[in-house]
Structure 1
Amino acid sequence: MPLLGGIRPPIALLCVLVLALAGLTAKVLGPDAEPVVPKAVLSSQQHFAQDGAIALRASIDERVTDLERTATALNAGSGADPERVLSDLGKAYQKWTGTTVLDLESGEVLAARGERIPLAWLDKDVLTGDEALTPRMVRLETGDVRLMTMAVLEGKGETQQLLIASNSLAVPSINLGPFRSMAVVARGGEVLATAGFEQSEALNSDAEREELTFLQKQMTRLSDRAAEETEQNPLSVREPGSGGYPGVSGTLLGDGYNGRVATAGYASLAAADPEDGESVAAGLGLTVVAMLPVVQQHATTVDSRQLYGLLAAGALVLLGLLAVAVLWVTVQRPLLALFLESRRLARGDLIRPVTVPRWGEAARIGSALERTRGQLGGVSAPDSAGDARRRRFRGGGRGPLALTAVLLLLWCVPVGLLLNRTDGTVSIPAAMVNDQRDRTDLVADRVRRALNEAQADVLSISRLIDVDDPGATETLLKDALREHTRYQALYVVGEDGNVVARAGGDPHAWSEEERTLVRVSGKGEKKPVVQTGAPVPKHKGTTLVGEVRVEFLNSLLKRPGLGEVRIVNADARTLAASDGFLAFEGLPNDALPDLVRAGNVQVGAGPVENGLLIRDRGAVTVAAAAPFTGGGIASDLGWTVVSWQNADRFEITAYEREDRAVLAGLLGLALIVVCLGWIHLVVVRPLRALAADAENLADGDLKTVHYPRYQDEVGAVVRSLELIRQQLQARRQNQARRPAEPRLDAGGR
């Protein structure tokens, strides 16, 4: 018999797969040590660090781009007074801690605003080296670190001036929650800035102060480890094609203290989108570390659900052996017996009667073989007995397959649908709810800053517009639109409401009756229209309007591990979303609008506890809302960022066991389909056709040639049946020839 044909291979494969699935079930559903910290909490810290790194990267790149763009615009003119340059820069952008203009030839400070900028770090390499005018990190006398950004200005005449702006490297100023902290780390592990510890310095008890000291030491140690990890090449630490965060990110576990474990996520600064091109911030070698102490888990007893896993594995072995026994008794043994009997008849052994199986196609074939044995010259039973036996054993080989499938389904269905069901009773770690809230707050801060930046860009461009020269104005708008990817259109609206100059898409109406400089319209359209405006100096009633792309806002909301994120107005109507949405549509859950209203009411009244769990029909949803706060024109819009996700997406042990149980049930179904389908296609269907051919042969059909389709047991019986047909045909020809010979002899005499 061939190795891959016949009845033996699928039954053997069924045995192997049943044992393998039982072992896998015992492994993934049986007793296992609980992790010290849930994987979901660690993943959340990694995502938190990624969000912080993206926000810091965007902030640094925007400041560098704004300074360079301002210098380019000023150089296009006839030169401006240094004092006026810094004054206009401060009015358009409130983002630098200090600005200075100095003469490059003499080194004299021509103008200064804000924090005093030290100049000892300026040398020839900074100005003319291979990395000339590259942003530099400088430590002040106070110990704080500032990022120095530079741009060359063309002064009056042939003189050149250097514009220097300094800003801090602090992480976004958001509500980090109790004992959560973030840090900006340089190459080598030096901590440049921290946030979060200052919120805990007002602790009164000695135990709390000791824990704060412990966490500060942990932050220093984990920052060193994070800096070492981020020295790797991002392409080497990710699997090819895996996507995800473009930089290096991961998680770290620190030491324990009073039942808590310091968990940290880290992420290097990297461009958030390949379309962003070169990123100055990504080349600074900075890393953001987010740390949170969580309660350490102690699994002292074995969960009953883990015992269910061992019982399920044992039950699968028993049912699998029973299923194999059914197939062996009802399919394999009768088929092998037919193979031996047919080969015996084909060889001419007609003395012993054929052993006829008790039922199914094998009984029909055995009965037909017995009748052909009688036709070949052996002693046979009467035909009526054969017909009765054929009618008696009309049942087929599909019955054993159905019985085997039922036996295995008795295991697959309960395991896949009933075992380890959570039914909304899983305890969600408080850290997950806090992380959802804090990450939502971080996204809200990023969107608010982006809108403030958009309005500041429009204000800066408006100072360069000459309404009396529409051609030059339109060229300026086209250049600005090409540089600012956040806009879909820029246009100048005159006092009468008509568009004076434009670039980009079709403009929308802008009314001077409204006093707000950031507006939303477009109800009834496919997507909202977000406009930001700035009055053009020296031209009363003339406004430069920029329409912010909704796709740009959507891109700010897409963060892994945060679920679905939306920006809603004060009426809880959608303005932007991480997934598809309809303009100004409502939120899908009734509890979410209440969460938005509660967050708006609590703004300015202390800490906003705007995260909650929603339990509905066994499903658990973690939701959070973060209203725009923190200053700038966007904080007055009344907008809120809302996020929610199903808790079953978290890497929590209970949900993982439920998923593994479902997977085990699906693997059992696949086992049934593969093995029993194999037997049906290779054995049962050919056996049914063979039974019909054998009965036709026994009934006297000697013309039909029988040829095997497969080289297996069924094929061997078909070959024997063909040999028997040939023998019967030869016997009939001999019988027809014998009576004719005496008649010829009589006629001859």
Structure 2
Amino acid sequence: MSLIGGIRPPIAALAAALLALAGVTALTIGQIHSTGQPKAVLTSQQHFAEDGAIALRASLDESVTDLTRTAALFNAGQPAPADAVLDKIGSVYQKWLGTAVIEINSGKLLAARGENMPLTAIDRSKLSDEDGLSPRMIKLSNGETRLLTFALLSWPGKPQELLIASSSLKFPGISLGDFRAIAVLDAEGDVLSTDGIPAPEQVLTADEREGVKRSNAQMASFAKVVAQRTNRDPLTTREPGEGGFLGISGSLTGSMYQGDRSVAGYATLASPQPGESTTATGLRLSVLAMVSVAEDPTRSSHPLFGLLAAGALLILGALAIAVLLGVVQRPLLGLFLESRRLHRGDLARPVNLPAYGETARIGRALERLRRQLRDEAPRERTGMWAAQAQPAEPDTELPAPRLRRFGTRSVVAVVAVLLLAWSAPLMLLFNRADSTVIIPQQVVNDQRERTDTLTDRVRRALNEGQADLASVASLIGNTTPEDQMEKVLDRTMGDHLRYKSLYVLAGSGEQARVLARSGDRPRDLEEQKPRNLEVQVVNDSGREPVIAGYAEIPGRGGAMVVGEFRIEFLNSLLKRPGLGAVRVVDADRRVIAGNSGYRAFAKLPSDRLDGLVEASAMKVGVSAHAGSVVYRHHGAAQIAAAAPFVGGGAAKALGWSVVSWQPAAGLDIPEYRLQHRITLAGLLGLTLAAACLGWLHIVVVRPLRGLAEQAEALADGDRRTVLYPRHHDEVGAVTRSLELIRQRLQDQRRTTAAGRN
């Protein structure tokens, strides 16, 4: 017999699979419990730290790019005094704590703005090296850390000058919420800067002072662990093909204090593209976000349900296997033995007839063939074979088959129904997490804070773009000839990927025309004049919004630099795991950008989201605020959050908001995990039954039905049709035996015909 064919392997595989599934059901479904903090809370802290790392990396790289590009634009023009350079930089950018210009050869300070910088810590002898202009971290006497960024100012005939800018390692616009602290760590685990932990002298009560002390101690303990975990290759810290954050990230669980447990997420500064590195990633910094979460002492355990489900599967599975063995396998094996006995010539005993289905039909045909071989009864002729034989009395000695319509297919269908009776309730009925499921409040808060942080990232990105345009316009001035403007625009396009088009429009007193252009063709803006010099959405319909920023060129009669933003740039800012669907909407709550498929200028998918965006944009005191809520409808829960643009800059006038929502069923909390495991058990049961019964139908049921028809035709007198076995199994063995019987009957007929002649 074939090792993979026949009737035994499918039934044996089904029995083994059901036994394994029963064991898995008993061991896994009953082990769902909460250890105090759901996995969803820890994952949320990890994503929060990743958001902070992305924001910090983008801010540091943007600062380096802005300073380098500004110096390059100055170098392309006429020599400028150091004070004029710093004044222009200060009028465009407000991101640096201090700026200075020194003469490289002598070290003389030429100009300075803002806080004093430790210029003596700069080794001017290494500025000519390849890495001499790389940013470096300097620790001040008060313990604070500053990041110094450098760029060269070089004009023919003048000594080289060094442009220096200092910035703190603070997170730009990250929303911490309540009871959260975030820190920047170096490669050794030393804390370089913190946000969210108040200074001890600001705490009024003894309990608050003790809380700050414990927070600092817990932060230091987490920092050492993070230093060990981040000192690895990122490819070794996650499953292959997992995707998502490109750096090293994870979560930590700390000690308890007054019923609250410290949980943290950490992430390294990672490049936005795989295999690439940036200036910020070379600093080997990490981000640690820590929050105190109320401990949940309850446990959600269902060991009895798992045992009952496994027991029910064992009972139904045993019944199904018994039906297959008794009604399908045993009669088929009996037919195999009977057919082999007949073709070997043992015709003395009648054929043992099965009671049901195709095996009964084949058994009756074998008995009739046995009698024909013994020539005990007249051969039955029906149909086309009736004309080839003499009329004969019907064979009334053979018992009529019982339940002729109840065949092997019906048996398999009954077994499928038995197994479906176990799988379907698990998939559809038992332990459904409904509207009573408690969503951890920390997850809801994190949805709000992360959405607020994302809103600030989008606003700052537009403001940075507007500042770049103002810088370009200031450097073009009234002295740059029109044929040189395009070089400046090309250099800006190469430094920043946020623009799809940069061009210079002629002044208001001239005919509207483009003086210089870089990138894509402008979207019919030559005849349009901006309402103001802020970021605007030019169109209100179409396949994608056209977002443009404007900066007037001083001394050119109203001429201005116009930059059109790539919508893909905004969409890329929104692609953060763990937030679900994210949309940027305008003041009329029409979709401008998103992290997944959307239609431009379309409405949000529900009125509830509209109401949330409208409520978050309402004035509370003097400023709008972010909000989050859990919607429950028809037993399903959804977490949603919205945050409006808050803060200054050219993008504030847009009145945009960022809204995010996700189904709570995707969270890793005990109730949903139990539901998913129960549903998975039901799906596994259904899959195993379909696979094994389908296998049985292909290798046994369908060939057996065809063999029954061939056997009855042979018994009715068909001696011409050759019977070919399709498989080397029980059905194939019976087919071979019938073929040998057919050949014997042919020989018998020839012998009889020869005797008559």
Q: What band does the TM-score fall into relative to the shorter chain? A: over 0.9
1:371 and 2:382 matched: no
2:714 to 665, 685, 697: 697
Structure 2 distance, partners of 1:603, 1:340, is 89
Structure 1 distance, partners of 2:551, 2:739, is 96
1:436 and 2:447 matched: yes
Aligned match of 1:56: 56
Structure 1 distance, partners of 2:199, 2:536, is 35
Opposite residue 525 of structure 1, the aligned amino acid is G
Opposite residue 499 of structure 1, the aligned amino acid is V
Per the TM alignment, residue 604 of structure 1 is displaced from its structure 2 partner at its CA by 5.1
Identical pairs, percent: 51
CA contact (8 A) 2:32 2:674 kept: no
Structure 2 distance, partners of 1:597, 1:680, is 60
Alignment of 1:406-485 (within 5 A): 406-465=417-476, 469-485=481-497
Opposite residue 513 of structure 2, the aligned amino acid is N
Alignment of 1:244-283 (within 5 A): 244-274=244-274, 278-283=277-282
Alignment of 1:397-408 (within 5 A): 397-408=408-419
CA deviations on 1:265-318 (whole Å, 9 max, x unpaired) are: 11111112359x541000001001111122223345x64x54322211111111
Structure 2 distance, partners of 1:392, 1:32, is 48
Comparing 673-682 and 402-411, the one that deviates more: 673-682
Q: So what's the TM-score if we normalise by structure 2?
A: 0.93
Partner SS for 1:198: coil
CA contact (8 A) 1:512 1:541 kept: no
Partner SS for 1:479: helix
Aligned match of 2:84: 84
Aligned match of 2:389: none
Aligned match of 1:499: 514
Change (3 A) 1:519 1:394: closer
Change (3 A) 1:126 1:38: farther
Change (3 A) 1:26 1:124: same
Aligned match of 2:386: none
CA deviations on 1:356-403 (whole Å, 9 max, x unpaired) are: 111211111111111122122276697432676258635321110111
Aligned match of 2:736: 719
Partner SS for 1:239: coil
Structure 2 distance, partners of 1:94, 1:9, is 75
Gaps of 5+ in 2: 379-392
2:542 to 501, 525, 533: 525
Aligned match of 1:294: 293
Per the TM alignment, residue 636 of structure 1 is displaced from its structure 2 partner at its CA by 3.6
CA contact (8 A) 2:549 2:564 kept: yes
Structure 1 distance, partners of 2:724, 2:216, is 83
Opposite residue 489 of structure 1, the aligned amino acid is S
Gaps of 5+ in 1: 741-749
Per the TM alignment, residue 102 of structure 1 is displaced from its structure 2 partner at its CA by 1.1
Opposite residue 484 of structure 1, the aligned amino acid is H
Opposite residue 525 of structure 2, the aligned amino acid is A
Comparing 82-91 and 242-251, the one that deviates more: 242-251
Structure 2 distance, partners of 1:152, 1:616, is 61
Structure 2 distance, partners of 1:97, 1:306, is 60
CA contact (8 A) 2:454 2:658 kept: yes
Opposite residue 49 of structure 2, the aligned amino acid is A
Structure 1 distance, partners of 2:175, 2:693, is 59
Aligned match of 1:119: 119
Structure 2 distance, partners of 1:222, 1:189, is 9
Per the TM alignment, residue 27 of structure 1 is displaced from its structure 2 partner at its CA by 2.4
Structure 1 distance, partners of 2:651, 2:530, is 19
Structure 1 distance, partners of 2:740, 2:586, is 86
Partner SS for 1:29: helix
Opposite residue 292 of structure 1, the aligned amino acid is V
Aligned match of 1:743: none
Change (3 A) 1:195 1:578: same
Aligned match of 1:66: 66
CA deviations on 1:522-557 (whole Å, 9 max, x unpaired) are: 112211111111110112321111111111111111
Aligned match of 2:502: 490
CA contact (8 A) 1:489 1:502 kept: yes
Aligned match of 1:651: 668
Structure 2 distance, partners of 1:610, 1:639, is 15
Partner SS for 2:476: coil
CA deviations on 1:157-187 (whole Å, 9 max, x unpaired) are: 3311111110000123443111111100011
Change (3 A) 1:278 1:710: closer
Aligned match of 1:238: 238
Structure 2 distance, partners of 1:556, 1:710, is 60
Aligned match of 2:388: none
Opposite residue 318 of structure 1, the aligned amino acid is I
CA contact (8 A) 1:140 1:146 kept: yes
Aligned match of 1:745: none
Opposite residue 18 of structure 1, the aligned amino acid is L
Structure 1 distance, partners of 2:547, 2:591, is 12
Per the TM alignment, residue 131 of structure 1 is displaced from its structure 2 partner at its CA by 2.2
Change (3 A) 1:161 1:513: closer
Structure 2 distance, partners of 1:421, 1:34, is 18
Per the TM alignment, residue 464 of structure 1 is displaced from its structure 2 partner at its CA by 2.2
Aligned match of 1:228: 228
Structure 2 distance, partners of 1:28, 1:54, is 37
Per the TM alignment, residue 590 of structure 1 is displaced from its structure 2 partner at its CA by 0.9
Partner SS for 2:150: strand
Change (3 A) 1:209 1:356: same
Per the TM alignment, residue 134 of structure 1 is displaced from its structure 2 partner at its CA by 1.1
Opposite residue 280 of structure 1, the aligned amino acid is T
Change (3 A) 1:444 1:249: same
Structure 2 distance, partners of 1:603, 1:170, is 27
Change (3 A) 1:699 1:522: same
CA contact (8 A) 2:444 2:628 kept: yes
Q: Alpha carbon RMSD of aligned pairs, Å?
A: 2.2
CA deviations on 1:493-527 (whole Å, 9 max, x unpaired) are: 22144322222223243755622421112112211
Opposite residue 422 of structure 1, the aligned amino acid is A
Change (3 A) 1:559 1:431: same
CA deviations on 1:234-263 (whole Å, 9 max, x unpaired) are: 223233333221111111111122222211
Q: So what's the TM-score if we normalise by structure 1?
A: 0.94
CA contact (8 A) 1:28 1:657 kept: no
Structure 2 distance, partners of 1:522, 1:201, is 53
Change (3 A) 1:241 1:392: closer
Partner SS for 1:384: coil
Opposite residue 739 of structure 2, the aligned amino acid is E
1:730 to 735, 742, 747: 747
Change (3 A) 1:722 1:637: closer
Structure 2 distance, partners of 1:56, 1:603, is 29
CA contact (8 A) 1:22 1:313 kept: yes
CA contact (8 A) 2:626 2:643 kept: no
1:321 and 2:336 matched: no
Opposite residue 434 of structure 1, the aligned amino acid is N
Aligned match of 2:699: 682
Aligned match of 2:406: 395
CA contact (8 A) 1:350 1:378 kept: no
Change (3 A) 1:739 1:159: closer
Per the TM alignment, residue 665 of structure 1 is displaced from its structure 2 partner at its CA by 1.7
Comparing 375-384 and 340-349, the one that deviates more: 375-384
Aligned match of 1:330: 327
CA contact (8 A) 1:15 1:320 kept: yes
CA contact (8 A) 1:481 1:503 kept: yes
Partner SS for 1:146: strand
Opposite residue 337 of structure 1, the aligned amino acid is G
Aligned match of 2:559: 542
Aligned match of 1:746: none
Per the TM alignment, residue 339 of structure 1 is displaced from its structure 2 partner at its CA by 1.2
Structure 1 distance, partners of 2:634, 2:438, is 16
Change (3 A) 1:201 1:431: farther
